[in-house]
């Protein structure tokens, strides 16, 4: 069952209070109608009835998909022990457990798993796209505003690297990425039970650690 509750919220635009519904957990198998709102991020969008401005409230959310076998903790906070314990049987059944810090990470993660993709493969593909953009286009790393997974079709993944005024798309065959991950499975190992954060910073950190001299 999904769980929601009513909260009193002060509109950041007009300062007036209103009541709105936030979701604390979503079981998308039981509440299929919530899926589109999650995929778009609109599940976090709220409309002030006084000034009619809409804005995001990012409350902590547990998201569960029993068909695709994954569970997400959406919050900037570490995953509570209670949620870790709750997820233990799912971890043992092979569910992917992940944390998402932002709504953007959340919607991207949903898209990745919806496409039956491995998110480690996707992050490596995003990293390779970023490096290629910097190396071949003489781009400046600081100009890059986002690296976004788009979709996978016929085993080729599309990644968009965006800068302030322009964007570039990269098409990356996933076979090579999967091979690279298989060959270095220790490097890409995750503590799945603890809801690891698998994002751009995570993969950059892996490559930085590799560059460090061994003691």
For Zn ion, the binding residues (CB under 5 A) are: 11, 13-14, 48, 50-51
CB of 51 to Zn ion, least distance (A): 3
Listing from the earlier edge strand, what are the strands of the sheet with 3-10? 3-10, 17-27, 61-65, 70-74, 96-100
CA nearest neighbour of 134 among 121, 146, 143: 143
* Residue 141 structure tokens: 């790393």
CA nearest neighbour of 91 among 193, 162, 7, 6: 193
Which lies closer to Zn ion via its Cβ, residue 14 or residue 156? 14
Which lies closer to Zn ion via its Cβ, residue 48 or residue 112? 48
- State the DSSP code for 48: -
CB of 40 to Zn ion, least distance (A): 22
Which lies closer to Zn ion via its Cβ, residue 13 or residue 151? 13
Which lies closer to Zn ion via its Cβ, residue 51 or residue 56? 51
SS3 for 128? helix
CB of 50 to Zn ion, least distance (A): 4
* DSSP strands (E only) in the chain: 3-10, 17-27, 45-47, 54-56, 61-65, 70-74, 96-100, 144-153, 156-163, 167-173
CB of 41 to Zn ion, least distance (A): 20
CB of 55 to Zn ion, least distance (A): 9
The answer to whether residues 163 and 147 touch, using CB atoms and an 8 Å cutoff, is: no
Which lies closer to Zn ion via its Cβ, residue 7 or residue 51? 51
69: left (phi over 0), alpha (psi -120 to 50) or beta: left
CB of 46 to Zn ion, least distance (A): 10
Which lies closer to Zn ion via its Cβ, residue 50 or residue 137? 50
């Amino acid at each position: 069952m999904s769980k929601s509750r009513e909260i009193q919220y002060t509109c950041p635009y007009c300062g007036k209070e209103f009541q709105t519904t936030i979701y604390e957990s979503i079981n998308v198998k039981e509440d299929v109608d919530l899926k589109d709102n999650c995929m778009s991020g609109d599940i976090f969008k709220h409309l002030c009835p006084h000034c009619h401005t809409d804005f995001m409230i990012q409350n902590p959310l547990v998201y569960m998909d029993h068909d695709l076998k994954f569970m997400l903790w959406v919050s900037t906070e570490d995953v509570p022990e209670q949620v870790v314990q709750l997820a233990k049987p799912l971890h043992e059944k092979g569910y992917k457990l992940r944390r998402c810090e932002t709504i953007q990470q959340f919607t991207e993660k949903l898209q990745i798993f919806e496409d039956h993709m491995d998110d480690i493969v996707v992050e490596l593909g995003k990293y390779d796209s970023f490096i290629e953009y910097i190396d071949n286009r003489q781009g400046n790393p600081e100009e890059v505003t986002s690296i976004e997974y788009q979709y996978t079709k016929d085993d080729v993944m599309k990644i968009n690297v965006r800068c302030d005024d322009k964007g570039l798309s990269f098409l990356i065959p996933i076979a090579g990425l999967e091979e690279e991950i298989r060959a270095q499975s220790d490097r890409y190992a995750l503590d799945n039970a603890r809801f690891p954060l698998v994002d751009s910073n995570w993969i950059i950190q892996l490559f930085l650690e590799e560059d460090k001299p061994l003691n």
